Amino acid sequence: MSADTMKDIVALCKRRGFIFPASDIYGGINGFWDYGPLGVELKNNLRDRWWKDMVVTPPIGPDGAPIEIVGVDSSIIQNPRCWEASGHVGGFNDPMVDCKESKKRYRADHVFVLIPKDGQGTSFAFDKDAEQSDIESRLKKFAKGKSASDFEKEMLDKVPAKMFASIIGPDAKEPGTLTEPRQFNMMFHTYVGAAAGDENKAYLRPETCAGIFLNFKNVVDSSRTRVPFGIAQIGKAFRNEVTPRNFIFRSREFEQMELEWFCEEEEVPMWFDFWVEQRTKFWEAVGIPKAELHFLDVAKEDLAHYSSRTIDVEYRFPFAAPGFDELEGIAHRGSFDLTQHEQFSGTKLEYFDQAANKRFTPHVIEPSTGLTRGVLALICQAYTVDESRPSGVYLNFQPGMAPKKAAILPLTAKEEHVPLAQKLYMDLREDFAVDLDIKQNIGKRYARQDEIGTPYCFTVDNDTISDQTVTVRDRNTMAQNRIHMDKVKEFVKDRIR
Ligand code: GAP
C-alpha cells in the first residue's frame, strides 16, 4: 500500500458514504470530518464492541475471575482548573513554525532539514513523511546537482536559530521565510456565560480521561467498586492540531475510547502486561492481524509528562507503510492525575482499602485509543484491490464490524421475486443491519455491496419460488451456494459472532 492507496481510500469513503469533509459544500474546514450513513454504522460497531469488551463483559483477570470496569459519560467542558492540574494549560504545546512565504504552519518536530555537508549553500526543509523521490527531485531542481547523500539530516526543532536564514521551507521557494519554533497551546477555548473575559474562559477537553479522574471519588462512593477496577469512557476530544493530516488519522475533533485502570503500585507490571495482551486481542478480534501491528516501547525522552512507561500499539497505515503509526497508547500514568487533582481541588482522592485498613492513591494504567483512528485502521485493513471484479475493490471487513451484515437482492424487479425478498428482509432486519436493494442489474448491486464491505448477499430467484432456497454470495470469494430461506438468519448469526 502507498500514499496513492490512501487517495483511493478517501475517494471510496466519500463515494460510498463513509466519511465526508465537514462543511463540504463550503469547501470544507481543515481537520474536521463528518461520518456518513455507513461510516457512522462502522464507528458505532467498533465503539459498541469496545464498550462490550470493557464494561459489559470485561476480560477475565489473571486470577481467573472477571475484572471489574464501570463506565461514565462526563461533560466535554469542565472547570478550567482541571486543565491546570492536568498540565494542559501550561504544557499541552507543540513547537510551531510559520512560513512567511507560503503562509503555512508546521509542527517543528514534523519537519526535517537537509543541511549541506560541505557547509556551502542552502538547506532544505521537508515534511517528515516526504517520499524519497520528491526529495531527490526538489534537490535536483534547486540544489545545483546535489543529491540527498550530500546533506546531513536534522529535525527542524533541533536546528540552531542562526541557521534559519539559510533554510527553504517545505512549500517555499526563497530561503529565510521560516520563523523559529514557538510554543502553541492545542486546547480549543470558549467562554462560558455572557461575558468573554478571562474569568469565564473554559476549554474543550483535549482527552476524555480527565472526566474519569474527576469522577473517581463519585464512582467509588456511589458504587461497590474496589481497587483494582477500571472506569471507561468514550467520547469526543478536541485538539487544535497544527497540521491535521492523513484523512481522519489526525483531526481536530475526534473520538477516544479510554480506560483508566486503578491498581496498587506493586501490581503495575502485571496489569501493564495484562492490558497490552488484552488490547492486542481486541484489535485482532475486530479484524487487524497481529502482523500488521507493532509495539513501540516509547523512549524515555518521548514520554508524555504524566507517564513513566508507554507502549504505543502501532498499525501499518498505508501512509506510513512499510512503517507504522500510532493506533493506541497504553500508559502507566502513576498516581499523577489523582495527586494533581487532589492538590488543585483540595478534595482528598485517596482510596481506603477496608480489608487491609490502609489508605493510598492508586496507580493508573491507561489503554487509550482513538475511536475514529480505529475506524481508519479498519477501513485501511479492509481495503482490498481485486481487478477481477466489476468494482475493482472490496472492503474485507470482519463481518461483525461491517456496516451492513447482509444484503437481500431480488434477482429481478419481477413481481414474484420482490415479495419473497421483502419477506426475508423483514425477518432479518429485526436482528441485523441489512440492506434490501431491488433496482439495477444484479452485477451492479453486487459491486456496490463489495465496495461497502457487506459480507453476504442473499439473492431471490426463480428457484426460490419453487424450493424456498436463495443463493448466498460470499463477498471475499464471490462463491455462490444455495441455502434455505429459513436458515439465513442462523447463517449470518454464526458468522458475525
Ligand atoms: N489520555 C491519553 C491520551 O489522550 P494520546 O496518545 O494523546 O493519549 C490517545 O491519545 C489516542 O487518541 C491516540 O493513540 C490516537 O488513537 C487518538 N488521537 C490522539 N490525537 C488524535 C487526533 N488528533 N486525531 C485522531 N485521533 C487522535
CA of 37 to the centre of ligand 1 (A): 24
Q: What is the pLDDT along the chain (497 residues), one digit of tens a residue?
A: 566 899 999 999 999 999 999 999 999 999 999 999 999 999 999 999 999 999 999 999 999 999 999 999 999 999 999 999 999 998 777 888 999 998 888 999 999 999 999 988 899 999 998 989 999 999 998 888 889 999 999 999 999 988 999 999 999 999 999 998 888 899 999 999 988 888 999 999 999 999 999 999 999 999 999 999 999 999 999 999 988 999 999 999 999 999 999 999 999 999 999 999 999 999 999 999 999 999 999 999 889 888 999 999 999 999 999 999 999 999 999 999 999 999 999 999 999 999 999 999 999 999 999 999 999 999 999 999 999 999 999 999 999 999 999 999 999 987 889 999 999 999 999 999 999 999 889 999 999 999 999 999 999 999 999 999 999 999 999 999 999 999 999 999 999 97
| For the CA of 310, the nearest atom of ligand 1 | 6
CA of 100 to the centre of ligand 1 (A): 30
Q: Cell triple for residue 156?
A: 527542524
User: Cell numbers 451492513 correspond to what residue?
Assistant: 404
User: Cell numbers 546537482 correspond to what residue?
Assistant: 145
CA of 58 to the centre of ligand 1 (A): 23
Of residues 162, 156, 155, 153, the one with CA closest to residue 98: 156
List the residue whose alpha carbon is closest to atom 15 of ligand 1.
370
The dihedral region occupied by 468, where left means phi > 0, alpha psi between -120 and 50, and beta the remainder, is: left
- pLDDT value at position 1? 59
Domains along the chain with CATH numbers: 3-92+206-381 (3.30.930.10), 93-184 (no CATH), 395-496 (3.40.50.800)
List the residue whose alpha carbon is closest to atom 6 of ligand 1.
329
Indicate the top mutation candidate among 212, 305, 310, 326 to test ligand 1's pocket, ranked by most ligand atoms within 8 A of CB: 326
CA of 272 to the centre of ligand 1 (A): 19
291 with 275: CB under 8 angstroms? no
d(CA 46, CA 450): 20
Of residues 375, 365, 296, the one with CA closest to residue 336: 365
Q: For residue 437, what are the contacts with CB-CB under 8 A and spacing of at least 6?
A: 407, 408, 409, 445, 448, 449
**Ligand 1: lining residues by beta carbon, under 6 Å:** 207, 209, 239, 241, 250-251, 254, 256, 258, 326-329, 366, 368-370, 372-373
Q: For residue 355, what are the contacts with CB-CB under 8 A and spacing of at least 6?
A: none
d(CA 51, CA 70): 10
Indicate the top mutation candidate among 256, 294, 314, 319 to test ligand 1's pocket, ranked by most ligand atoms within 8 A of CB: 256
d(CA 163, CA 257): 43
DSSP 66: B
Burial pattern 62-89, b for ≥16 Cβ within 10 A else e, equals eeeeebbbbbbebeeebebebbebbebb
d(CA 207, CA 88): 10
CA of 196 to the centre of ligand 1 (A): 30
Of residues 410, 409, 495, 385, the one with CA closest to residue 457: 409
- pLDDT value at position 121? 87
User: Cell numbers 485502521 correspond to what residue?
Assistant: 377
Between strands 123-127 and 167-168, the pairing is parallel
- pLDDT value at position 301? 84
Peptide bond into 181 cis (omega under 30): no
Of residues 183, 200, 233, the one with CA closest to residue 74: 233
Peptide bond into 37 cis (omega under 30): no
What dihedral angle (degrees, nearest 10) is formed by the CA atoms of 370, 396, 37, 318?
Answer: 50
The model carries a pTM of 0.89
467 with 483: CB under 8 angstroms? no
366 with 359: CB under 8 angstroms? no
